[in-house]
Amino acid sequence: MHRDPNRHSESSGFRRRSARGFTLVEVLISAIILAIGLIGLAAVFPAVISQQQSANDLTTAVSISATADSVLATRLPALRERLNDEAIIGQLGSSWYRINAAEGRDDNFYLQTPWRPPFPDLRLREDATFEIGTGSPGVHHEHDVQLPYRPIANDGEPGDLLVRVIYQRSGVPIDQYFTLVPDPSAPTNPQFIEGENARGWLQGQQGPNRINFLTGRIQFYFNLGVNEVVKQVTVEYRWLNDRIVSHPDRTYPTASPRYAWDMAFRRSADGQMQYTTFVYRFDGLNAPFEPEIPGRWSISNNEQSGMLRRDFASVVYNSREGRYELQTRGTGMAQQLEAGSWLLPIDGTSVLRVRRSIPSTGGSPWFELEGPPMRVRPDGVAEPMTGNVEFWYMPTTIKAFSTQGQEIGVWRIRPLLATTRQVQL
pLDDT greater at residue 388 or residue 207: 388
Is 275 in contact with 263 (CB distance < 8 Å)? yes
pTM strictly above 0.75: no
Are 207 and 336 in the same domain? no
Domain that holds residue 313: 56-98+250-423
Are 289 and 409 in the same domain? yes
Are 297 and 384 in the same domain? yes
Looking at 172, 206, 239, which one is the last position of a domain?
A: 239
Are 333 and 384 in the same domain? yes
Looking at 187, 218, 239, which one is the last position of a domain?
A: 239
Are 405 and 263 in the same domain? yes
Is 369 in contact with 354 (CB distance < 8 Å)? yes
Write out pLDDT tens, residues 354-378: 999 998 877 889 999 999 999 988 8
Give the Cα separation of 320 and 292 in Å (integer).
43
- The upper half-sphere exposure of residue 37, i.e. CA atoms within 13 Å in the direction of its Cβ, equals 6
- How many of the other CB atoms lie within 10 Å of CB of 413? 23
Cis peptide before 253 (omega within 30 of 0): yes
At residue 83, the pLDDT reads 76
At residue 226, the pLDDT reads 76
Nearest residue to 394 via CA among 98, 109, 110: 98
Percentage above 70 pLDDT, the chain: 72
Residue 107 lies in a domain: no
Looking at 220, 239, 258, which one is the last position of a domain?
A: 239
Residue 168 lies in a domain: yes
Lowest mean pLDDT among 115-124, 234-243, 276-285, 343-352: 115-124
Write out pLDDT tens, residues 79-138: 777 777 777 777 777 888 887 655 444 333 444 444 344 444 555 555 567 676 666 656
Residue 147 lies in a domain: yes
- Kindly report the backbone phi and psi dihedral angles of residue 5, in degrees, each rounded to the nearest multiple of 5, phi listed first: -65, -30
Residue 6 lies in a domain: no
As a whole number, mean pLDDT of residues 200-229 equals 81
Residue 24 lies in a domain: no
Residue 20 lies in a domain: no
Are 285 and 338 in the same domain? yes
At residue 106, the pLDDT reads 37
Are 257 and 378 in the same domain? yes
Are 235 and 272 in the same domain? no
Residue 17 lies in a domain: no
Residue 249 is given by DSSP the state G
Kindly tell me if the per-residue pLDDT of 70 is higher than 70.
yes
Are 323 and 417 in the same domain? yes
Residue 143 lies in a domain: yes
Give the Cα separation of 26 and 140 in Å (integer).
105
At residue 322, the pLDDT reads 95
Q: Total domain count for the chain?
A: 2
Are 280 and 384 in the same domain? yes
Q: Read off the pLDDT band of 265 (50, 70, 90).
A: confident
As a whole number, mean pLDDT of residues 207-225 equals 83
Are 256 and 233 in the same domain? no
Give the Cα separation of 212 and 240 in Å (integer).
13
At residue 62, the pLDDT reads 93
At residue 10, the pLDDT reads 56
Write out pLDDT tens, residues 222-263: 887 778 888 888 888 765 445 566 666 677 666 667 888 888
Are 274 and 226 in the same domain? no
